[in-house]
């Protein structure tokens, strides 16, 4: 048996090790995902849509001839960019919202970058949806029809590298936005120098040691298995969308605003979703719109789905960071400066979130005690797949440079880098050292045997004559405490106590796998513990339906795990009051004379016998008692806890292969809401994190601009055989506000691993590699060997 975490407060339900509430439904194959509802035998009259995708990295459509395609048997409709239904649509952006809030077109988050046309004629990457979309009786017929469309392409020069794209004379991707590929400054992301605290030149002048480094984070993608899809019916004036969008209300807003249909005439239904990881973070993709238009024109249900190849659709920003750190000989950091260039690909989407927004948050919660901090960053359009949101957005790239500078500074000053970390990093509402950071690092160090295994770089003993081992770490502030969720607005929950004392829980959120559904049931059982119920008495509604549910709490920020439970804790008094009101009528008492404990009603003056709530409810009116509550997250600024990964690696100096032997993943959670789910996030996040560290990268043919590995054979995701031993460590040191004072952890579990691996590789071989993924050729090159 592996060690279980020790809770700070022992609770009846919250914090438990237990199976997921959807375990049996999913393990037996009975759980229904959007694509399962759309199979031909379940949807009579179903049409399949396929969209034309550019085979060129940069081109314009001069004209289209669809006459031959229209004659193909089984083709129902073809919509082209010249059709008035499409041509009249406003330019948009796939960055209306980061999922936290539901925003209108006018207020969309990245409104400075409305750079997407719905079925435009200007293609900006290989795979761009342009020109035409076909609806047909079968998917193969739609594909064949696309092949029969005659397209007159005007090929344009293309650019793949952001530095080349900034050079004079580079092809301009978005002439409608300006005469440069550099994304302009905007009100949300801020100026190009978006943090400038103190005096960076003075801070560097005051330093005894100054260190520079450059890191490159390549472009992984989310790779959820449930390829993005939607089924749309447009019947009379009502649009119904079944989708694996994880943002039901935002998708509704998007369709309403773009197609000019009232909000109450658009219904979005989202059942279980097969993984998300930031994929399609927003519900505002053009495919919803052209599928809806096809449904309207044909009067039939239309299904659009991405194939696996087409699901290489958006991913993480490829960001190069230059970092400079200055410190006194005692390890006190005097200056921290970063400059970044992010390759945003063909569309801006959410890239400025990664390049500017996330580093601003990190500065606030971790660099508060460093007197001089500067960040400068630019996003640059190129003819590659767009970058958007991916688990750990922006923080993963920032951590790659931050962990490099701290590790390097420790070496330069001959101080343990763990000590450098806790001497300097923390939030402004607390004195240093930050208790959470100290505990996270001490615990991780003990679990990996830091003192015993750490040696001077490259000076460990040889294993099998050619292999060298090393250990490394990286740390980062967590994020997504309640006070950071204010933009979310009200968080809604409806609890219904049925006449048999069973509970129906509508805590609307699209379940993407995070386990927040189990957190919610545990939170509900805890809040209603006076009813003496178990979690098995609670039915959680698994499908979000905008016609029936209050606004969904989107699974971004890993914070649904506690936000809805906090609302339930606050609502439990109201449930009790309503119950007592009804029961008082039966017992000829006033509600104030009664109370409920462990499922039994008793008189406060101890007169009379205890009677079960269930029995009394059955005697009373059989109407269920429903309490709907919404609450804004608490705004108290509590800082955030810290997270860290420790890695042990073995590097084969002959083959260049890096083998990760062990990972220790430490999260201070504030409060663990559901231990098995939290550990699953810590362990599970390493599939993405190790993939990004070692193998995952989209490769382009530089000559043609064509992506070469849009499939799971050439783009390598770690399998069970590739994963090392992973030790998940849950801590409760920091505490936020509210009943639980928890913090989101799942998103951050990917953040520190790539740097921990790179620092461990350095410890093993004594040569720095600062670019991921670390493939064997990179190791051999670093070791000065010929490939």
The one among 242, 277, 562, 762 contacting other proteins by CB under 8 A: 277
b/e 37-63 (16+ beta carbons within 10 angstroms → b):
bbeeeebeebbbbbbbbbebbbbbbee
Q: Is 299 in the site for other proteins (CB under 8 A)?
A: no
The one among 159, 365, 680, 694 contacting other proteins by CB under 8 A: 680
Q: Compute the least distance from the CB of residue 199 to other proteins, in Å.
A: 44
* Nearer of residues 33 and 602 to other proteins, judged by Cβ: 33
What is the contact mask toward other proteins in residues 719 to 738, using x (rule: CB under 8 A)?
xxxxx--xxx----------
Q: Is 20 in the site for other proteins (CB under 8 A)?
A: yes
Full 3-state SS string of 300-340: CCEEEECCCCCCCCCECCEEEEEEEEEECCCCCEEEEEEEE
Rounded distance between C-alpha atoms, residue 348 and residue 92, angstroms: 11
Listed residue (240, 49, 237) closest to 129, CA to CA: 49
Rounded distance between C-alpha atoms, residue 353 and residue 334, angstroms: 27
* Nearer of residues 225 and 661 to other proteins, judged by Cβ: 225
**DSSP annotation string for 366-386:** HBTT-SEEEEEEEEEE-SSPP
Q: Is 451 in the site for other proteins (CB under 8 A)?
A: no
The one among 171, 426, 477, 515 contacting other proteins by CB under 8 A: 515
Q: Compute the least distance from the CB of residue 476 to other proteins, in Å.
A: 19
Q: Compute the least distance from the CB of residue 685 to other proteins, in Å.
A: 6
Site size for other proteins (CB under 8 A): 73
b/e 248-270 (16+ beta carbons within 10 angstroms → b):
bbbbbbbbbbbbebeeebbbbbb
Residues 129-168 binding other proteins (CB under 8 A) are: 138, 140
Spell out the residues 6+ positions from residue 578 whose beta carbon is closer than 8 angstroms to its own.
Answer: 625, 627
The one among 223, 250, 343, 383 contacting other proteins by CB under 8 A: 223
CA distances to 49, 75, 145 from 141, in Å: 10, 7, 6
Q: Compute the least distance from the CB of residue 52 to other proteins, in Å.
A: 20
* Nearer of residues 5 and 422 to other proteins, judged by Cβ: 5
The one among 77, 98, 115, 226 contacting other proteins by CB under 8 A: 226
The one among 97, 270, 686, 759 contacting other proteins by CB under 8 A: 686
Q: Compute the least distance from the CB of residue 339 to other proteins, in Å.
A: 33
* Nearer of residues 295 and 688 to other proteins, judged by Cβ: 688
Residues 359-388 binding other proteins (CB under 8 A) are: none
3-class SS at 451? helix
Q: Is 27 in the site for other proteins (CB under 8 A)?
A: yes
* Nearer of residues 138 and 328 to other proteins, judged by Cβ: 138
Q: Compute the least distance from the CB of residue 29 to other proteins, in Å.
A: 3
- Distance in Å from the first CA to the final CA of the chain: 44
* Nearer of residues 1 and 787 to other proteins, judged by Cβ: 1
Full 3-state SS string of 238-299: EEEEEECCCCHHHHHHHHHHHHCCCHHHEEEEECECCCCCCCCCCCCCHHHHHHHHHHHHHC
What's the DSSP call for residue 356? I
Listed residue (302, 272, 300) closest to 287, CA to CA: 302
* Nearer of residues 315 and 633 to other proteins, judged by Cβ: 315
Q: Is 22 in the site for other proteins (CB under 8 A)?
A: yes
Q: Is 24 in the site for other proteins (CB under 8 A)?
A: yes
What's the DSSP call for residue 508? -
Q: Is 556 in the site for other proteins (CB under 8 A)?
A: no
Q: Compute the least distance from the CB of residue 32 to other proteins, in Å.
A: 7
Q: Is 245 in the site for other proteins (CB under 8 A)?
A: no
């Amino acid at each position: 048996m592996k060690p279980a975490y020790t809770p700070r407060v022992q609770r009846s339900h919250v914090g438990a090790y237990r199976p997921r509430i959807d375990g049996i439904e999913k393990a037996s194959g009975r759980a229904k995902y959007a694509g399962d509802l759309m199979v031909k035998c379940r949807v009579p009259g179903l049409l399949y849509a396929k969209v034309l995708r550019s085979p060129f990295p940069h081109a314009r459509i001069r004209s289209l001839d669809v006459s031959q395609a229209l004659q193909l048997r089984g083709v129902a409709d073809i919509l082209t960019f010249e059709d008035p239904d499409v041509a009249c649509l406003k330019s948009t952006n796939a960055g209306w919202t980061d999922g936290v809030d539901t925003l209108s077109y006018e207020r969309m988050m990245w409104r400075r970058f409305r750079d997407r046309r719905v079925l435009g004629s200007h293609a900006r990457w290989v795979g761009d949806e342009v020109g035409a979309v076909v609806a047909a009786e079968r998917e193969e017929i739609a594909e064949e029809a696309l092949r029969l469309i005659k397209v007159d392409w005007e090929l344009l020069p293309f650019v793949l590298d952001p530095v080349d794209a900034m050079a004079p004379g580079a092809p301009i991707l978005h002439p409608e936005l300006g005469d440069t590929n550099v994304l302009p400054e905007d009100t949300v992301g801020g100026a190009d120098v978006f943090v400038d605290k103190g005096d960076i030149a003075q801070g560097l002048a005051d330093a005894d040691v100054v260190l520079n480094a450059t890191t490159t984070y390549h472009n992984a993608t989310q790779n959820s298995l449930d390829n993005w899809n939607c089924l749309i019916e447009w019947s009379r004036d009502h649009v119904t969308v079944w989708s694996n969008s994880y943002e039901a209300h935002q998708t509704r807003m998007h369709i309403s605003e773009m197609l000019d249909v009232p909000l109450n005439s658009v219904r979005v239904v989202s059942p279980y979703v097969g993984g998300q990881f930031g994929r399609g973070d927003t519900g505002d993709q053009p495919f919803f719109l052209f599928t809806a238009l096809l449904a309207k024109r044909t009067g039939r249900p239309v299904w659009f789905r991405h194939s696996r190849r087409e699901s290489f659709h958006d991913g993480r920003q490829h960001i190069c960071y230059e970092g400079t750190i200055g410190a006194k000989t005692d390890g006190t950091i005097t200056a921290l400066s970063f400059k970044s260039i992010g390759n945003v690909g063909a569309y801006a989407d959410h890239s400025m979130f990664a390049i500017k927004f996330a580093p601003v948050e990190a500065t606030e919660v971790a660099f508060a005690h460093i007197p001089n901090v500067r960040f400068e960053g630019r996003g640059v359009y190129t003819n590659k797949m767009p970058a958007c949101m991916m688990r750990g957005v922006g923080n993963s790239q920032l951590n790659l440079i931050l962990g490099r500078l701290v590790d390097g500074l420790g070496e330069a000053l001959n101080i343990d880098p763990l000590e450098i970390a806790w001497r300097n990093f923390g939030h402004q509402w607390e004195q240093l050292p930050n208790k959470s950071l100290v505990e996270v690092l001490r615990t991780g160090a003990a679990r990996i045997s830091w003192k015993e295994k750490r040696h001077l770089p490259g000076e460990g003993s040889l294993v099998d004559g050619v292999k060298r081992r090393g250990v490394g770490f990286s740390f980062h502030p967590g994020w997504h405490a309640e006070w950071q969720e204010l933009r979310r607005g009200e968080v809604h929950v409806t609890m219904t106590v049925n006449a048999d004392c069973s509970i129906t829980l509508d805590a609307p959120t699209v379940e993407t796998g995070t386990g927040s559904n189990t957190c919610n049931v545990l939170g509900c059982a805890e809040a209603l513990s006076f009813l003496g119920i178990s979690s098995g008495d609670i039915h959680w509604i698994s499908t979000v339906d905008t016609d029936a549910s209050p606004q969904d709490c989107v699974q971004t920020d890993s914070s649904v795990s506690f936000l809805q439970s906090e609302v339930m804790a606050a609502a439990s008094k109201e449930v009790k009051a309503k119950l007592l009101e009804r029961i008082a009528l039966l017992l000829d008492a006033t509600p104030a004379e009664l109370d409920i404990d462990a499922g039994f009603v008793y008189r406060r003056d101890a007169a009379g016998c205890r009677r079960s709530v269930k029995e009394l409810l059955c005697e009373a009116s059989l109407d269920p008692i429903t309490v709907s509550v919404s609450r804004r997250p608490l705004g108290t600024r509590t800082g955030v806890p810290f997270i860290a990964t420790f890695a042990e690696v073995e590097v084969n100096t002959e083959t260049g292969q890096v083998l990760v032997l062990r990972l220790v993943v430490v999260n201070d959670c504030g409060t663990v809401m559901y231990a098995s789910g939290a550990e699953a996030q810590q362990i599970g996040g390493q599939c993405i994190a190790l993939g990004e560290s070692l193998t995952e990268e989209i490769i382009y043919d530089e000559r043609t601009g064509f992506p070469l590995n849009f499939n799971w054979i050439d783009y390598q995701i770690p399998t069970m055989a590739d994963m090392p031993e992973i030790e998940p460590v849950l801590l409760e040191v920091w505490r936020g506000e509210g009943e639980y004072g928890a913090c989101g952890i799942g998103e951050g579990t990917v953040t520190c691993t790539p740097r921990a691996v790179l620092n461990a590789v350095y410890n093993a071989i004594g040569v720095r590699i600062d670019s991921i993924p670390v493939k064997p050729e990179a190791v051999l090159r670093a070791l000065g060997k010929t490939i």
